[in-house]
Amino acid sequence: MDEKKARILVADNDPSFLYAFEFIFGEDYEVFQVQDGLSARALAEQESFDLIVLDVMMPPTGFDEGFQVCEYLKMNPKTNNIPVIIVTNRSEQDRTRAMEVGAEAYFTKPFNQSELRQIIENLLDQSRK
């Protein structure tokens, strides 16, 4: 591991999920938590992150906020090079939508977490190069 931990932004309206994410990845990465789409956008613009993990159903729009945030971040020149992972407990059917808005990876909850870890590491490696 390099001296500086990678910074990950996680947005999910479920505090338990955020806690679990921090519990598992908190040692290896610096995890920032937000609970809605607006603060996710704001924080992603203010600070610099190496990776963003987004839930789909979040306030304020509820239904597809994660996709909207992803689209927004990918349009923004400041943030468009940060890899995005979309994590949702909606079905596999949304995978195409996730790819359309430019997300690098898509996971349905509950997921295999070693797979998630693998993907996170791969994406971080790619963006370091």
Cβ neighbours of residue 93 closer than 8 Å, sequence gap 6 or more: none
**Do 5 and 29 form a contact (C-beta atoms < 8 A)?**
yes
- Residue 93 burial by Cβ neighbours in a 10 Å radius (0-12, 13-18, 19+): exposed
| Count of C-beta atoms within a 10 Å radius of residue 21 | 21
> What radius of gyration, in Å, describes the C-alpha atoms of the chain?
13
User: Which of 3, 60, 81, 110 is the binder for other proteins (CB under 8 A)?
Assistant: 110
**Do 67 and 23 form a contact (C-beta atoms < 8 A)?**
no
Site for other proteins in 11-70 (CB under 8 A): 14, 16-17, 19-21, 23-24
Q: Is 71 in the site for other proteins (CB under 8 A)?
A: no
Minimum CB distance to other proteins smaller for 46 or for 96: 96
User: Which of 2, 91, 128, 129 is the binder for other proteins (CB under 8 A)?
Assistant: 91
User: Which of 1, 2, 92, 128 is the binder for other proteins (CB under 8 A)?
Assistant: 92
| Residue 80 C-beta: closest distance to other proteins, Å | 25
Residues that bind other proteins (CB under 8 A): 14, 16-17, 19-21, 23-24, 89-93, 95, 108-111, 113
